[in-house]
DNA sequence: TTAAGTGCAAAATCTTTGCAAATGT
DNA sequence: ACATTTGCAAAGATTTTGCACTTAA
């Protein structure tokens, strides 16, 4: 999926600034979600840490990014599908969190429908699998 | 499920101390998971904040509690099923995180089997549904 | 008796807030 | 020109570490 930062910003009524474009570029760069600490490391010279917080929050609220929490409570971000909006995140695919390299993948696997007990109304469902990813399992068997 | 703190501690090679027993009691009290800040509020007079950190970590490592992260990166804890161990958490039920009262329920609903892409090996799968819980939907319709 | 656990003080991180200067429309 | 956004400083919160004192086995 090709992404065009400037277009995305316009679509969501956000001014296009150097910093905002850089954040989107960096996140779109890889198909896996990127953690906030990683982003900080990569963009630390160009963007103030506080600004990064604000940009990520704005993006999440607008439905540009979705946030995935890992087991350590660290936020990871990935680009939303185009159908996401302020009101609803269509993030109905399975995430895979590698316990070795810590990367979070957005898998091309849908989350199965789940029957809720009476009285409970679900608006979103998140599924994350934990284990060893493709790359890490190759590396390990190589040793 | 009746829980017996002293027995649980013995089973996992942990000395039984006043503080550890209190933590287990407090968590077992309710069927929903409890957040660490809530625990701090309830036990703050009896247990030092640092000790609470250490106890919760020990419990999670030993497989006595399982940790569920909410959207804010806050840790929530619930008692594991008796089959959980150091090596593996059998936490294969769906969690429900109420976006109104923020409570996390352990639902009596199993997580469906999910087919992983080639190369990815999952050892655990977590599913969390977000929405309005039983109690909150009753309260809302009452208004 | 002694190894493990607790509390306190303090360091290290992480996150939020306020405000003046810079920037995009 | 004007409303937003940014960076810096500083406050607040969370999490970790070190160490002397206490406690369970």
Q: What percent of chain B has pLDDT over 90?
A: 58
The whole-number average pLDDT for the span B45-66 is 96
So what's the pLDDT on residue B111? 83
Question: What is the rounded average pLDDT for all residues in chain A?
Answer: 87
Buried b / exposed e over A43-61, threshold 16 CB at 10 Å, is beeebeeeebeebbeebbe
Å: A49 CA to D10 C1': 15
**Residue B129 Cα, gap to closest chain A Cα (Å):** 4
pLDDT digits 0-9 by tens, B80-114: 665 555 555 555 788 899 988 888 888 878 888 89
Please give the pLDDT value at position A90: 58
Q: Is A28 exposed, middle or buried (0-12, 13-18, 19+ CB in 10 A)?
A: middle
Alpha-carbon separation of residue B78 from A51, A52, A121, B17, B62 (angstroms): 36, 33, 22, 20, 13
Task: Name every chain B residue with its beta carbon within 8 A of the beta carbon of A133.
Answer: 119-120
Dihedrals phi, psi of A133, to nearest 5 degrees: -85, 170
CB distance A136 to A98 below 8 Å? yes
Taking 80 as the threshold, does the pLDDT of residue B33 lie above it?
yes
CB A134 within 8 Å of CB A99: no
Check residue B67 and give its pLDDT: 92
The CATH code for residues B5-141 is: 1.10.10.10
Please check the confidence at residue A57 and state whether its pLDDT lies above 90. Answer: yes
**Backbone phi and psi for residue A112, each to the nearest 5 degrees, phi listed first:** -65, 150
Protein residues bordering strand C (Cβ below 7 A): A 15-18, 36-37, 49-50, 53-54, 57, 73, 75; B 14-15, 17, 19-20, 46-48, 50-51, 54-55, 58, 73
Rounded to whole angstroms, the distance from the CA of residue A52 to the C1' of nucleotide D4 is 16
Is residue B128 less than 8 Å (CB to CB) from chain A?
yes
Residue with the bigger pLDDT between B3 and A22: it is: A22
In this predicted structure, which of A19-28, A81-90, B100-109, B128-137 has the lowest mean pLDDT?
A81-90
Q: SS3 of B113, please?
A: coil
Lowest mean pLDDT among A127-136, B34-43, B120-129, B133-142: B133-142
Q: CA–C1' distance B51–D18 (Å)?
A: 14
- Strand A93-98 and strand A121-132: pairing? parallel
Whose CA is nearest the C1' atom of nucleotide D23? B17
Measured between alpha carbons, how far is B78 from B27 in angstroms, rounded to an integer?
A: 6
pLDDT at res. B56 = 98
> For B15, what's the count of Cα atoms within 13 Å in the CB-facing half-sphere?
3
Residues B89 and B78: their CA atoms lie apart, in Å, by 12
Q: Count CB atoms within 10 A of the CB of residue A142.
A: 6
Q: A36 at the B interface (CB within 8 A)? A: no
pLDDT band at A143 (very low <50, low <70, confident <90, very high): very low
Q: In the prediction, which pLDDT does B89 show?
A: 55
Closest CA to B35 of B6, B73, B4, B5: B73
Chain B hits for A108, CB-CB cut-off 8 Å, are: 117
CA distances from A59 to A21, A75, B26, B40 (A): 11, 13, 38, 32
CA dist A115 and A121 (Å) reads: 10
* Chain B 78-107, residues with CB within 8 Å of chain A CB atoms: 94, 96, 99, 105, 107
Which has the higher per-residue pLDDT, A139 or B87? A139
DSSP A85: -
Of A92-96, B30-34, B63-67, B80-84, minimum mean pLDDT range: B80-84
Domains of chain A by residue range: 5-141
Q: Which residues contact A83 (CB under 8 A, 6 or more apart)?
A: A90
The spacing between the Cα labelled CA in B60 and the C1' in C5, in angstroms, equals 17
**Range name among A32-36, B37-41, B111-115 with the lowest pLDDT average:** B111-115
Q: What is the mean pLDDT of residues A52-62?
A: 96
Query: What residues of A are in contact with residue B117 (Cβ under 8 Å)?
Result: 107-109, 134
Could you tell me the two tokens for B18? Answer: 């006043």
What's the pLDDT band for B143 if we cut at 50, 70, 90? very low
Place of tokens 């090679």: B13
* B115 neighbourhood in chain A, CB within 8 Å: 109
Q: Cα–Cα distances in Å, from A121 out to A93, B98, B128, B132, B143?
A: 19, 9, 12, 5, 18
């Amino acid at each position: 999926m090709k992404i065009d930062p400037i277009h995305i910003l316009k679509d969501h009524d956000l001014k296009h600034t150097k910093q905002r474009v850089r954040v989107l570029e960096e996140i779109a760069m890889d198909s896996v979600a990127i953690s906030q600490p990683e982003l900080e490391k990569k963009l630390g010279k160009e963007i103030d840490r506080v600004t990064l917080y604000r940009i990520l929050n704005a993006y999440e609220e607008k439905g540009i990014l979705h946030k995935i929490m890992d087991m350590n409570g660290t936020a990871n971000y990935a680009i939303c599908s185009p159908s996401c909006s302020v009101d609803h995140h269509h993030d109905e695919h399975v995430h895979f969190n590698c316990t070795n390299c810590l990367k979070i993948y957005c898998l091309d696997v849908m989350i199965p429908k789940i029957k809720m007990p009476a009285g409970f109304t679900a608006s979103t469902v998140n599924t994350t699998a934990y284990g060893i990813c493709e790359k890490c399992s190759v590396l390990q068997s190589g040793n």
